[in-house]
């Protein structure tokens, strides 16, 4: 979702499984457009409202995560959450089968305006020409330092990031999810994310 705070003049794009619940405790505001919104959709929303001037001058930011751990977190979340819409479909899939499903099914769903889309990090934060639509991209792997930078930019005192919604469902180390087939799938699906956000290829 996007979090809008006009008093602090920011727009925060919350991408799923990137510590968003913790970040929203610090960067609170009006929540807009559903859980899986793209920044291009936020831009279009303001354009349709005739408020593109506000969008253009607001400080826009988001946080990303290494795709290698991002997908494991999503996989275990769906498998462990019975209310999730894809729980029954995913709960018996291997991690490799999940990645194939993500590539061949989830990423091709027609879901307008943030309604449970599954995309790449680049898709969430860039327009169709690959232009980044946010002013700052924080990294979960250095979350406290990057949160401090955003706090300074929007006039908030530095705050310790709360440890919320930690994925307790994971039962094995991250590297146990990856053989060569899984690494190849990740390189295929998320090549631009690894490059753009400076993460090492798996």
Can you give 131-197 as a three-state secondary structure string? CECCCEEEEHHHHHHHHHHHHHHHCCCCCCCCCCCCCCCCCCCHHHHCCHHHHHHHHHHCHHHHHHC
pLDDT at 54 over 80: yes
Question: 133, 58 in Cβ contact below 8 A?
Answer: no
The C-alpha angle 101, 177, 161, rounded to 5 degrees, equals 95
Residue 18: Cβ-neighbour burial (10 angstroms; 0-12, 13-18, 19+): buried
Task: State the CB neighbour count (10 A cutoff) for residue 59.
Answer: 16
What pLDDT score does 110 carry?
Answer: 82
pLDDT band at 168 (very low <50, low <70, confident <90, very high): very low
189's tokens: 């699906």
- Could you tell me which of 75, 17, 12 has the C-alpha nearest to residue 39? 12
pLDDT tens digits for 83-93?
998 999 999 99
Q: What average pLDDT does range 35-44 have in this prediction? A: 91
pLDDT tens digits for 144-160?
999 999 999 999 998 99
Q: What average pLDDT does range 40-57 have in this prediction? A: 95
Please give the mean pLDDT across all residues of the chain. 92
- Could you tell me which of 161, 116, 157 has the C-alpha nearest to residue 138? 161
pLDDT band at 106 (very low <50, low <70, confident <90, very high): very high
- The percent of residues above 90 in pLDDT, for the chain, comes to 82
CA distance 178 to 184: 9
pTM for this predicted structure: 0.93
Residue 61's φ and ψ, nearest 5 degrees, are -150, 165
pLDDT band at 199 (very low <50, low <70, confident <90, very high): very high
CA 106 vs. chain centroid, Å, equals 15
Of residues 180 and 167, more confidence is placed in: 180
Q: What average pLDDT does range 34-47 have in this prediction? A: 90
pLDDT at 141 over 70: yes
26's tokens: 């610090």
pLDDT at 41 over 50: yes
What's the CA dihedral at 121, 99, 199, 116 to 10 degrees?
20
């Amino acid at each position: 979702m996007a979090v809008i705070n006009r008093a602090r003049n920011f727009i925060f794009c919350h991408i799923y499984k990137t510590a968003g619940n913790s970040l929203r405790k610090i960067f609170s505001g009006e929540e807009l457009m559903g859980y899986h919104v793209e920044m291009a959709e936020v831009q279009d929303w303001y354009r349709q409202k005739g408020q593109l001037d506000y969008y253009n001058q607001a400080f826009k930011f988001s946080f990303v995560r290494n795709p290698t751990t991002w997908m494991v977190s999503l996989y275990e979340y769906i498998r462990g959450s019975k209310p999730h819409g894809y729980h029954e479909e995913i709960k018996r899939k291997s991690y490799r089968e999940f990645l194939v499903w993500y590539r061949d099914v989830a990423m091709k769903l027609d879901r307008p305006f943030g309604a449970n889309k599954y995309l790449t990090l680049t898709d969430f934060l860039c327009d169709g020409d690959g232009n980044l639509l946010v002013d700052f991209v924080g990294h979960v792997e250095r979350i406290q330092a990057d949160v401090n930078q955003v706090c300074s930019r929007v006039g908030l005192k530095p705050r310790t990031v709360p440890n919320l919604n930690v994925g307790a469902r994971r039962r094995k180390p991250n590297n146990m999810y990856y053989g060569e087939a899984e690494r190849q799938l990740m390189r295929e699906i998320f090549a631009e994310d690894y490059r753009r956000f400076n993460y090492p290829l798996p």
